[in-house]
Amino acid sequence: MNDESDTSIWLFGYGSLIYKVDFPFLERRRARIRGWTRRFWQGSHDHRGTPEAPGRVVTLIADADAVCTGMAYRVTPDVFAHLDHREKNGYAREASQFFFDDGSHAPGVVYVANPGNEAYLGPAGEHEIAKHIAASRGPSGENHDYLLALAHALRELGSEDAHVFDIERELRELLRGNLTEAESSLSPQLAGGRGLG
């Protein structure tokens, strides 16, 4: 019989997988991956938009010099049935190395939506992306909640992500008076600033 540590796999989350943890895990740790940068370049047909009016969510774009901070979860393989369904709109699992704060590293998998997938939208300026997000919603809710929750989670992780924070600033300007209402509709977890540790 296998010990669970023999069959567990590290999964790296860099978008909603940081803050929406609807799957069991054995352990989680802040981690970094190298050679990838987080970008709001992926369309969302099934969570934060629709096929007719896709929202914008994050993917990873290859960039040799980049380092991306996120959350790594040690999970058992059965968890991937749920996660593959959740991430089915253009994402595929890729193997990568995860680097932990204590200097150790481990192999694992990360969901990447590569250019060319059916929902891929590609680059746009931060202001354009903010406008797009402000106008989008889908079965999982408002697109702006995805952005605000991600920005909040990245601050809790101590991650400086200029792309995400620039879009957040643009979005807050666009929403202005409406923002208080929008934030109060976020889950208590986000509104209360619950620690991730």
Q: Which residues bind ligand SIN (CB under 6 A)?
A: 13-17, 57-58, 87, 111
In the bound state with ligand SIN, the residue whose beta carbon lies nearer, of 87 and 161, is: 87
Contact 99, 70 (CB under 8 A): no
Contact 47, 68 (CB under 8 A): no
User: How far is Cα 68 from Cα 151, in angstroms, rounded to an integer?
Assistant: 14
Identify whether 87 is a catalytic site residue: yes
Residues whose CB falls within 8 Å of the CB of residue 98, separated by 6 or more in sequence, listed in order: 10, 12, 31, 32, 33, 72, 105, 106, 107, 108
In the bound state with ligand SIN, the residue whose beta carbon lies nearer, of 73 and 175, is: 73
For tokens 């190298």, name the residue.
34
Q: How far is the CB of 4 from ligand SIN (least distance, A)?
A: 23
Which residue lies nearest ligand SIN, judged by its C-beta? 15
User: How far is Cα 163 from Cα 179, in angstroms, rounded to an integer?
Assistant: 20
Q: How far is the CB of 61 from ligand SIN (least distance, A)?
A: 13
Q: How far is the CB of 33 from ligand SIN (least distance, A)?
A: 10
Report the relative pairing of strands 105-112 and 9-13 from DSSP bridges. parallel
In the bound state with ligand SIN, the residue whose beta carbon lies nearer, of 1 and 95, is: 95
CA–centroid distance for 152 within its chain:
12
In the bound state with ligand SIN, the residue whose beta carbon lies nearer, of 57 and 154, is: 57
Q: How far is the CB of 13 from ligand SIN (least distance, A)?
A: 4
Set 87, 126, 168, 170: catalytic member: 87
Helices (H) and strands (E) counted in the chain, each on its own, are 8, 7
| Catalytic residue list | 87
